[in-house]
Structure 1
Amino acid sequence: MDRYKTHKFSVAPMMDWTDRHCRAFHRQLSQRALLYTEMVTTGAVIHGDREHLLGFSDFEHPVACQLGGSDPTAMARSAKIVAEFGYDEVNINVGCPSDRVQSGSFGACLMQEPELVADCVRAMKDAVSVPVTVKCRIGVDEQDPEIALDAMADAVVAAGVDALWVHARKAWLQGLSPKENRDIPPLDYDRVKRLKSRYPDLFIGLNGGLQTLDEAETHLQDLDGVMFGRAAYHTPEILGEVDRRIYGADGEDVSPWQAIRAYLPYIEDQLSKDVRLAHMTRHMLGLFHGRPGARSCRRILTVEATKPGAGTEIVEKALAAVSPVDECEDLSSIPAGHAA
């Protein structure tokens, strides 16, 4: 836990959302938050285009890669590839309930096979020196969460896991869609805190339904970390307060205007590599929520960024549609950040 204990706040792995462009943007808002990739399967890592799947920018650190799989040999081989790419952590997905994941016998269905997850942890620990972590549910289907979560924790702790992130909901493998599995099963934060009482020396982080940093600060009184998913994506301004409020960093919070200006060098670099502007600006749509001009900003980014040849002038136009909190603020004086 010693080398992991600094990761008090993380942004969850989210399919189709937390790609490298999203992480590059989120990093402009928080220097400290641990950022996760989308889940990548062992088959894709071993046989696919690794640079496309795993490539990331140095300034994204700390950044973790989440793997989907259940074969210890393939997981170890994939973990080694991930570590060689420079990731700070390798995480095992034991929480996704999608049909695709179930057909591959991994994700949330692994809650029913804690010893197999432990075998994966052991194999991966033997293969890499970076932390190996698990993200799981409190149970699936008719499992008793008191028994199921303890069984998973006992198995992976014995295997040497470095941290356990727990989505404090059951997953229903039949009858609920992945989206419904993120909302309908009731949250049970107390169950995760009881696990922490059993394992006071294990890093245990909480995921599921977290919306505000007030909530985060409350949960961090009992747990080691909090993981935000949709709240961080849809209202990314929250990330601009993380370094000060969660990590105690000096200085002012990062404003949306500062984050966008700091993101521009990255956008320009990616445009030079033939990446479409919309692939990068789609992650910015939640900025300025509730502010005057926010709707115009979203419309510009949604409509004009998709046009062939769209460049940073579209971002500047969108930015100009939103009035700063301080009307006297000179936006041109806001320096570009570390994304170059």
Structure 2
Amino acid sequence: MQINQHSRLSIAPMMDWTDRHCRYLHRLLCPQALLYTEMVTAPALVRGGALHLLDHNPEEHPIALQLGGSDPRELARAARLGAEAGYDEINLNVGCPSDRVQSGTFGAVLMKSPDLVAECVDAMRAAVRVDVTVKCRIGVDDQAPEEMLPDFLSKIRAAGCERVIVHARKAWLQGLSPKENRDIPPLDYPLVQQMKVSFPDLHLSINGGITSLDQARAFLDAGLDGVMIGRAAYHQPSDILCAAGPVIFGQGTATDPVSVVHRMLPYIEGHLSAGGRLHQITRHMLGLFAGRPGARAWRRALSEGATRDGAGPALVLDALSHVTEPDLPRAQGWG
């Protein structure tokens, strides 16, 4: 399957959430979806030598590295490091509205500098063979999105960007917190859909406020090329990811979250053997059974127990007993 097909459904890059443990879980839930790292800043890789930020498990593919930065040469070097680490796509963040990102002159503030973004894209594309993509907003502050967004897209397309993810909200760089910027600015789905009509050669994915596979499927059926889901995929991963194979990709059958928990056990054991802690993985599993009987007890057992010394797979199985039949056979080797 080509990466454009995988991007029919992608999981948004989310700071402090989509780390390698989260991505491993999401991959087990859905073999086809395109996964993204948390944003990694180009200066951290190029100047700071923080190459550990590129660590990932081979099972996570297809996987994209999202970079933050605004210096074309530095982004090109960071993109090369990402490609050498094995990432299938390098994505430039032009959408994050946080103060920390603004002070570094990257993220959503770059919506004000489309020529610079095009220069960054051009430099990154010259440095790597994998796809270079952009994730952006429809505009920032007092920009008129219906004027600004077409100009922005035309410039990055001219620089060779063929795939764009558009968060269908403005970002207000002054007056709203990053959290408020995810909810308060109104969504403008029709504008993103119009961009697909105006730029039929661009592969366009829509992001923002999408909470179900039915909603995602409707956008695809209406002509968009892809749908990116963020918080809903994290907090209710089974609702979004388990049926994505047949619903979005027309492949296979729905995965079972109970079997996925059992498949996580060897991964957990390996992490613990390497000196890790259980809660570093299970914090991403809390929403697996959202809306299902026993979900609260599952969350409580993991939340209260996973930080204790010696916590391991047996605790996960005990938590699982709250949402499964009592006589369900346990995975061999973990009691």
TM-score, normalised via structure 2 length: 0.95
Q: Which deviations, in whole Å up to 9, do the C-alpha atoms of 1:194-241 show, x marking residues without a partner? A: 100011111000000000100001000220000000000000002011
Q: Quickly say closer, same or farther: Cα 1:63–1:3, change in 2 above 3 A.
A: closer
1:133 corresponds to: 133
* Aligned mates of 1:77, 1:198 — CA distance in 2: 33
* Aligned mates of 1:299, 1:38 — CA distance in 2: 26
Q: How does 1:208-223 map to 2 (within 5 A)?
A: 208-221=208-221, 222-223=223-224
1:89 corresponds to: 89
Q: Quickly say closer, same or farther: Cα 1:145–1:302, change in 2 above 3 A.
A: same
CA contact (8 A) 2:11 2:228 kept: yes
Q: Quickly say closer, same or farther: Cα 1:111–1:180, change in 2 above 3 A.
A: same
Q: Secondary structure at the match of 1:306?
A: coil
1:78 corresponds to: 78
Aligned amino acid, residue 144 of structure 2: D
CA contact (8 A) 1:39 1:65 kept: yes
2:199 corresponds to: 199
CA contact (8 A) 2:66 2:90 kept: yes
CA contact (8 A) 1:88 1:130 kept: yes
Q: Which deviations, in whole Å up to 9, do the C-alpha atoms of 1:275-318 show, x marking residues without a partner? A: 11100000001111122211111011111001122111111111
* Aligned mates of 1:333, 1:45 — CA distance in 2: 40
Q: Secondary structure at the match of 1:258?
A: helix
Aligned amino acid, residue 244 of structure 2: V
Q: Which deviations, in whole Å up to 9, do the C-alpha atoms of 1:105-147 show, x marking residues without a partner? A: 0000000000100000000000000000000000000000011
Q: Quickly say closer, same or farther: Cα 1:29–1:39, change in 2 above 3 A.
A: same
Report the Cα offset of residue 266 of structure 1: 1.1
Aligned amino acid, residue 310 of structure 1: A
Aligned amino acid, residue 267 of structure 1: I
Compute the RMSD of aligned alpha carbons.
Answer: 1.7
* Aligned mates of 1:98, 1:211 — CA distance in 2: 23
* Aligned mates of 2:49, 2:127 — CA distance in 1: 21
Aligned amino acid, residue 295 of structure 1: R
Q: Which deviations, in whole Å up to 9, do the C-alpha atoms of 1:67-109 show, x marking residues without a partner? A: 0000000000000000000000000000000000000000000
In the comparison of the two structures, how many residue pairs are matched? 331
Matched, 1:226 2:230: no
Q: Secondary structure at the match of 2:82?
A: helix
2:19 corresponds to: 19
* Aligned mates of 1:81, 1:52 — CA distance in 2: 11
1:157 corresponds to: 157
* Runs (4+) off by over 6 Å: none
1:243 corresponds to: 245
* Aligned mates of 1:82, 1:209 — CA distance in 2: 29
CA contact (8 A) 1:35 1:63 kept: yes
CA contact (8 A) 1:165 1:204 kept: yes
CA contact (8 A) 1:210 1:231 kept: yes
* Aligned mates of 1:49, 1:271 — CA distance in 2: 26
TM-score, normalised via structure 1 length: 0.94
CA contact (8 A) 2:96 2:107 kept: yes
Q: Using CA pairs below 8 Å that are at least 6 residues apart, which structure has the higher relative contact order?
A: 1
Q: Which deviations, in whole Å up to 9, do the C-alpha atoms of 1:21-67 show, x marking residues without a partner? A: 00011111000000000001011111345442110000100000000
Aligned amino acid, residue 70 of structure 1: S
Q: Secondary structure at the match of 1:134?
A: strand
Q: Secondary structure at the match of 1:92?
A: strand
Aligned amino acid, residue 65 of structure 1: L
Identical-pair percentage: 56
Q: How does 1:38-57 map to 2 (within 5 A)?
A: 38-48=38-48, 50-57=50-57
* Aligned mates of 1:84, 1:128 — CA distance in 2: 9
Aligned amino acid, residue 265 of structure 1: P
Aligned amino acid, residue 263 of structure 1: M
Aligned amino acid, residue 254 of structure 1: T
Q: Secondary structure at the match of 1:285?
A: coil
2:117 corresponds to: 117
Matched, 1:323 2:324: yes
